[in-house]
Structure 1
């Protein structure tokens, strides 16, 4: 077969959504040769369904010096009301970002693309994956360029971040079990004549539900569903349909007008059984997809990327004592998180759709419980925001290993400022640098070293580039 040319690169990333952009940018910033391939032409954006950036994702972006700039594009919300009863106080989250940031997905992509370009990622737009194969040393991917010319690219590893209809997943022969959880969801960006009583509210009548969240520039994102209007995604949707279902769910349409964007879609619950097949990995919607309840989709994909990027970097640099075990840990850490997100988002959307007397009573009881039981509400907020997610500690590690590292203030600055180097951070008492465990996947000459502000602290902590504790020592 004739080809336009063969390009060798260390990592091929397929898909230029938020997940692929963050992953490619991380790798390039670490000095890894990475090529990002996208079937769409440059500048043709995906439909921007995602609009919420959770606290843990903002912490990951803070570690890349992007969070403050992103926050300036949107509206931070300190509370959310579910089903008219459950008030979640996000300001209690133990994070610098104790809120939900409402901002469109394209703002996230804009910052991540700029970072990837600056870091030296090679982009190939208008290039569609056809097949891939792998052997013990490389992955070979066959593409078709925008002009129909075949193209072959080889790499040490390949990551499929190419969405719910992932060509990478299909080429691997991986199943994507599951099904539709909710159909005929409508989405719109509108202006309102009246401000909603709550800054972010989700409510429903049983036959319809809706939520409204502000973008901060006079526009509001409205999402809704009606049991009596179940039609294919291709069925046209207009502003009157949005108004009608909002009135049914919330009792008012708040005088919505001037819709700048309206869409209809359905939502599946699916998860690939494996996120790794040899030298090929799946991340984001290519690995898992779920209902929009909780706004966790884009956030989960970005955290997949943050988890995988440093592991690929350590292996490609030769810093990992056991490369296969480190790469396998991507599956063991992130697959359970994807399963948890499917469960929690599925539970939320089913509660919103509740219409029988029994299920509506259960929804009311659940909302009252969350309002009255602070520990339960805190745990729920921790899991949805990502702050409460932890990984099983490596064998032989102290108990805190695997937990999210809080943004400690050190003599050298905040921890997440130090993580901007993209390396492990070793925090130790002054004058007592510890001996690192031989299993640590890091070269000592790449460590960022820091000192506790409090001289009374005698522990040492090794923090991974993704902001999780790898190891602790007394």
Structure 2
């Protein structure tokens, strides 16, 4: 089989190449640049827990030293804590948009509820407490798990780590100074032509366009890219200075020194390593030129406003203007050609992260391409089609949520019309996008996926609904070692996890031949796709002897009570879009 051709050597394209290599699929990355990225501290990315883990798994390197995990998210309008969100300052407008008599609660699971006068209220996703006074109180139960912090990392650092990992990978070839200008496909593969000093023809089994907003691949396939232009615009500066908040990101929605409009002064600060901060100022609508004098003025007045004294010493390292567009490609697949990342979608308003979604595209697509590549005659069209159906639906919902919330948050209107019967603060809507929660930022769930398993008599509910990413619990691998569940993902194999309390204190050889294990092991061996059998002491919401079937990208297929070989086989076939048994070759 010919390699997969990947057009574009940004984070999405490089991640896809690594993900395919981990599943023994060769690829060629067409890089129209020189093979290295210009250092730009004003061009950064925010990665959620799942995408951070994906990059760490593929590169084999922890990202803690390359970026900064936020220990908190601070808003200068009121004092509250919501997971990694900290509101600080004077209590502003009532969160329900009324007279302040209504309370507000956010459950640790992400649910919202109303209280009276700041009393305790249960949120839809867990227990919560009301707003209370400005000087007191945290939203969410005291001592509750704050959850994972987002990672803030310079994009050139991220691509440098990915390139270093690719340099050690024999299954990946990176062709620099290779700009795509033609694509042809037939029943057995794709032919691509590049121009430049090393212009030539390339032959591949599939081609994936990861070549950004102006995607040549998308244009060559005549795929429309409708949406909204310049939804929001930000002035950006990266500088080295000392701020009062160690390791916390900061959101100041209505600074008192900026009074020219509801969005004139909103500023965000995110920490980077070595005392560097990225500051973003939301610009008013229009195309006014952002001059160096204007930017320096913003820096000085913001730093002075935050410290309350004279402008602290700072070193301006990089500047720029970031314009947010909202666009969604009509199709993400055209025969053997696919789109991923910014070539397929653009988003970024209200704290949403386009790169984060692009990395999730690669995680979804890689295992499906690998299955098709290893079984070229296996009729994998339905499985490949599911990439567009799953990922486009998730991103479309994200864009729709942002478009609905934008006039509410930016216009300053009340929120009752958006969520009838509840009160949701503007700060909280922004926090969802910035922290990866709710409809703006939470990991996508493929609830309506064509790969969904049918409901069986053996099916049982657990804390993770079908189609959602699984929890990262400790599991016992086949060699008897204890590992994180997430470490076993991305290898092309399905995961079958048995919940068996007490097994952790015994050597694997003692319980592999006891109880239901022999029957489960036989059922796993008979599945129509390679699968790894793992055991865990416990899983959220799962009773003992629950069997979980998990896709290679970490989304739950089904949970079943006990060992039911026929039901497990049926669920596996559904997850592969194969209703009939298929033989796997590699």
User: TM-score, normalized by length of structure 1?
Assistant: 0.83
What do the CA deviations read for 1:360-392 (whole angstroms, capped 9, x no partner)?
A: 9999x6327949xx9x99997255554464443
Q: Which residue of 1 aligns with 2:119?
A: none
Q: 1:180 to 1:246 in 2, by over 3 A?
A: farther
Aligned pair partner of 1:157 in 206, 211, 236: 206
Q: Which residue of 2 aligns with 1:139?
A: 190
Kept after mapping to 2: 8 A contact 1:208/1:248: no
Q: Which residue of 2 aligns with 1:285?
A: 342
Kept after mapping to 2: 8 A contact 1:269/1:342: yes
Structure 1 residue 185: Cα displacement = 1.7
Q: Which residue of 2 aligns with 1:459?
A: 546
Q: Which residue of 2 aligns with 1:243?
A: 299
Q: 1:130 to 1:116 in 2, by over 3 A?
A: same
Q: Does 1:300 align with 2:357?
A: yes
SS of corresponding position for 2:357: helix
By relative contact order (CA 8 Å, sep 6+), the higher-ranking structure is: 1
Matches within 5 A, 1:65-464: 66=60, 69-81=62-74, 84-85=77-78, 87-90=81-84, 98-120=148-170, 121-145=172-196, 147=197, 150-182=199-231, 184-196=233-245, 199-205=248-254, 206=262, 207-227=264-284, 230-231=287-288, 239-243=295-299, 246=302, 255=312, 257-318=314-375, 322-346=379-403, 350=407, 353-354=410-411, 358=413, 366-367=424-425, 370=428, 381-387=437-443, 389-393=445-449, 394-398=451-455, 400-412=465-477, 413=482, 414-419=484-489, 421-428=491-498, 430-431=517-518, 432-433=520-521, 435=523, 443-444=529-530, 447-453=531-537, 457-464=544-551
SS of corresponding position for 2:270: strand
What do the CA deviations read for 1:279-331 (whole angstroms, capped 9, x no partner)?
A: 11000000001125324111100010011001000111118954011001101
Q: 1:70 to 1:193 in 2, by over 3 A?
A: closer
Count of equivalent residues: 454
Q: 1:420 to 1:291 in 2, by over 3 A?
A: closer
Alpha-carbon separation, structure 2, partners of 1:290 and 1:346: 10
Q: Does 1:473 align with 2:473?
A: no
What do the CA deviations read for 1:222-253 (whole angstroms, capped 9, x no partner)?
A: 011232874258x6576424326747997979
Kept after mapping to 1: 8 A contact 2:75/2:252: yes
SS of corresponding position for 1:313: helix
Tell me which moved more, 341-350 or 120-129.
341-350
Structure 1 residue 124: Cα displacement = 0.5
Greater helix content = 1
Q: 1:380 to 1:194 in 2, by over 3 A?
A: closer
Alpha-carbon separation, structure 2, partners of 1:114 and 1:95: 35
Q: Does 1:32 align with 2:25?
A: yes
Structure showing greater radius of gyration is 2
Q: 1:437 to 1:411 in 2, by over 3 A?
A: closer
Alpha-carbon separation, structure 1, partners of 2:283 and 2:416: 20
SS of corresponding position for 2:363: helix
SS of corresponding position for 1:43: coil
Q: Which residue of 2 aligns with 1:54?
A: 48
Tell me which moved more, 272-281 or 384-393.
384-393
Q: Which residue of 1 aligns with 2:12?
A: 19
Alpha-carbon separation, structure 1, partners of 2:441 and 2:162: 20
Alpha-carbon separation, structure 2, partners of 1:183 and 1:249: 24
Aligned CA RMSD, in angstroms, stands at 3.8
Tell me which moved more, 242-251 or 204-213.
242-251
Kept after mapping to 2: 8 A contact 1:209/1:250: no
Q: Which runs of 5+ in 1 are unaligned?
A: 1-7
Q: Which runs of 5+ in 2 are unaligned?
A: 86-107, 110-143, 255-261, 456-460, 499-515, 562-586
Structure 1 residue 84: Cα displacement = 2.9
Alpha-carbon separation, structure 2, partners of 1:32 and 1:161: 17
